[in-house]
Homo-oligomer: A and B are copies of this chain.
Amino acid sequence: MADEIGTRTAAVAAAIRDRLATRALAPGEKLPSIRRFAATMGVSPSTVVEAYDRLAAEGLIRARPGSGFFVSGAVSPLALTEAEPRRDRAIDPLWVSRQSLDAGPDMLKPGCGWLPAEWMPNAAIRRAVRGLAQQAGEAVLTDYGAARGALTLRRHLVRRLAGEGIDLGADQVLLTASGMQAIDLIGRFLLRPGDTVIVDDPCYFNFQALLRVHAVRPVGVPYTPTGPDLTAFAAALAEHRPRLYVTNSALHNPTGATLTPQTAHRLLTLAAAHDLTIVEDDIFADLEPEPSPRLAALDGLARVIRVSSFSKTLSASIRCGYVAARADWIEALVDLQVATGFGGPSPVAAELIAATLTDGSYRKHLEALRRRLSRARREAAARLEPLGIAPWIVPRGGFTLWCRLPERQDAGALARAGLAEGLVLAPGNVFSVAQTASGFMRFNVAQMTDPRVYEGLARAMAQAQTDSPPTPSP
């Protein structure tokens, strides 16, 4: 019965659509009255109302209270198409993001910073979404929710952090719209224009993009296979009196390196001596085969602020990040988040994340993911080797492979040539404050199972050498 009504409604809507397409009904014109059109079509008036409502919801027609329905102004089909990313844009810290986010469906993305959709726990997410439809109360579906974000997920994070040895209360966790937004809020809280901030060199390019927005000066400290170079770190502290150090722990982006316990301890000792605050982003933590030292755990959230999100192992569509920090700092961050975004992240998103995390399948998903990445890493390294591209180190986990290009290959020129070959690449210098990584490229092994990646890369390498004069190594 419901289906039959649906079919009739669809038929009436289709008849109107035809008249709009052929301009039998022109923009601005009044539609037939409901009663008259019902008679014409041999359906009930309520079916016509249903059809008109559907077309109005699509914006094709508009209801004017008291006067009926009218044809909307024409929208050119061009106005409804997606903008392609600009290929000529400068290769800056936003280049990889913009090319990756808006890449057309035919592009391959060995440079992008996330896993393919089919590697994510789709079945568990779908279960969580179904559960939401069935069980969620009205408040969860429509209300703003608590200023710190949904308590369900914050409780889960309190338990999880306790497992790392970090004791904290739910009032010390603030959910945010994303991991980046978490760092942005911290920047707004702690930084003033002109301040200096230490980052790793290389570091995640978006840290640089963010610091630029805050009008602060990034100072890069070389990253070694065991963490930041401590001599350079100490020198930077003495010379620049930085306010903040922003870093990735667990699996460092882009190198995949791991902080050792000694480096972590000495780093915190240096930070204490210079009253430095540290933002530790451990967004890749769930990809580690086993937990590595964490600054927040050693420090107990005294001068370390933990940020993270679920975008790399669960979903980047159901976006949600968090900050764990001193209670008084969180209180200030809540004010900032209300002022700049009103309220926390979507309660619906937080509930879906919590439901997927507490679904018993999440651990198995992670285990399968780690095995799959391990295979993909070996495979990618083996297929890059004949091209003369060699990993700087072989990471313990994760999906990044920070590689040295052959002599005379400039990563920027190669990335440009890659676009023409249908490849989004991540050239070294977008990660380097000092711009000393033109001979490096970050690869995402999970996005490199298609052989066309290597064929395109070979052609792009040949092209890049023709395009640009060889750059001397720094």
Chain A contacts to B: CB under 8 angstroms: 9, 50-51, 53-54, 56-60, 62-65, 72-75, 78-83, 85, 93-94, 97-98, 101-102, 114, 117-118, 120, 122, 125-126, 129-130, 132-133, 136-148, 151, 155-156, 158-160, 162-163, 165, 167-171, 177-181, 184, 188, 193, 206, 209-210, 212-213, 289-290, 311, 314-319, 334-336, 338-343, 345-349, 352, 357-364
Contacts and interface: CB of A to CB of B under 8 A. Distances in A.
B147 A338 contact: no
20 contacts: A53-B361, A57-B360, A58-B156, A72-B159, A73-B162, A79-B167, A94-B335, A97-B338, A97-B343, A101-B145, A101-B146, A122-B138, A141-B318, A145-B316, A188-B213, A206-B339, A209-B339, A316-B343, A319-B346, A346-B349
A214 to B, nearest CB: 9
B125 A141 contact: yes
A433 to B, nearest CB: 15
Nearest to A85: B147
Contact of A138 (B118, B160, B181, B289): B118
B142 A317 contact: yes
A142 to B, nearest CB: 4
Count this chain's copies in the assembly.
2
A241 to B, nearest CB: 22
A180 B85 CA distance: 26
Given A147-B97, A317-B142, A339-B212, A129 B126 contact: no
Given A53-B363, A165-B73, A346-B317, A60 B141 contact: no
A132 B318 CA distance: 12
Contact of A162 (B72, B78, B162, B362): B72
Given A193-B193, A289-B65, A142 B125 contact: yes
Contacts of A340: 180-181, 184, 210, 213
Given A79-B158, A349-B348, A143 B363 contact: no
B346 A98 contact: no
Top 6 A-B residue pairs of the complex, sorted by shortest distance between their CB atoms? A59-B159, A209-B339, A53-B360, A83-B171, A120-B142, A117-B138
